[in-house]
Chain A
């Protein structure tokens, strides 16, 4: 066998072993490598009181209350579960209703999540303010962050709704 062919086989076998090992590692680390747990996952598998974790979800519209002493109380959801969050501290600029956030802290006995850090999660949608306004006006806006700019379903609705009304 030529030397280069032997090296090719070596790399092939090495790559197979490496990819296999990484796939196993990635699967095994599935839980350890998540940055936060969604409310649905928390409901299925409730953590112990006082256990430090991160939870993430969308801020439920109308759930935010800002107590006079500072901080904020709100509920986050992923559609499969809700978590009541109580936070002491200043909120990031992107925090608003419908926004995805990640909170760090622990549950208390009343199953309220006491957060000491709140991070705003930015989604993958980028657009100028005018486009956002136009989408809100045409009713294509989904405050729960599920809105897909320029995606198939968005375009379908867009083609049928705003244009029909303006036709003579």
Chain B
């Protein structure tokens, strides 16, 4: 099954059709979710209007983790079966995941100051999320630092897979240790502890973020494939003695 998608041409064909759909769905969901979350949803009984930061913070955090799962999975497929499209996916996902992690950290900090009374604390949840951000940066730095492309891809894949261990730590950090960060409100065994009038806009925003992520991933993957082709063409021409 993997080899079916491993063909860059077949991928390109698929991506070209999936792209406008993902982009359209994302736009539609943002058009509903943004006004609902930022204007029409009720204020919180304790946080009042500051609760609206949550509608960006929580989807950003989810997507940062979801993207990392994608980075780990594509690194795994590339490392074991050496399918190039999987490596392209990993390469495309890394900066997007980093951006989501960064957005999560910044919005969290903006919320923390008025609510907790501190921009930043070294509790387990915040620290493990910072580690996730640094893992993304480390992945990109490692890829950029090694000249040999195949070696760079393999080394970065190992780093990405090892970093997967951080995902359950982020998720359960608030249960395993006393932390300042609150426990989970949505994905918990006894059901959400967030009112439906706030849960729905949150879920719409999360879906909008997800489709935005898919759109950007496909776009970046296509770009990376074209870049690789251009580079290999250049090399071939240079080998033939053509001066560029």
**Contact B178 A26, beta carbon cutoff 8 Å:** no
Q: How many residues of A contact B (CB 8 A)?
A: 43
Chain B residues close to A by CB (< 8 Å): 42-47, 51, 54, 76, 79-82, 114-118, 121-124, 161-162, 165, 169, 176-180, 182-185, 188, 190-195, 197-198
Asked if A13 CB lies within 8 Å of chain B CBs, one says no
Q: Quick one: closest A residue to B46, CB to CB?
A: A94
**Contact A131 B195, beta carbon cutoff 8 Å:** yes
**Contact A119 B121, beta carbon cutoff 8 Å:** yes
Give the residues in chain B near A8, CB-CB below 8 Å: 80
A124-B183 contact, Cβ under 8 Å, with A11-B79, A22-B169: yes
Asked if A137 CB lies within 8 Å of chain B CBs, one says no
A56-B42 contact, Cβ under 8 Å, with A35-B123, A119-B117: no
Would you list which residues of chain A between 78 and 107 have a CB under 8 Å from chain B? 92-94, 102
**Contact A127 B198, beta carbon cutoff 8 Å:** yes
Q: Quick one: closest A residue to B47, CB to CB?
A: A122
Give the residues in chain B near A38, CB-CB below 8 Å: 178
A126-B54 contact, Cβ under 8 Å, with A11-B80, A119-B117: yes
Binary B-proximity of A140-166 (CB < 8 A = 1, otherwise 0): 000000001111100000000000000
Q: Quick one: closest B residue to A147, CB to CB?
A: B193
A128-B42 contact, Cβ under 8 Å, with A11-B79, A151-B191: yes
Contact of B193 among A18, A26, A119, A150 (CB under 8 A): A150
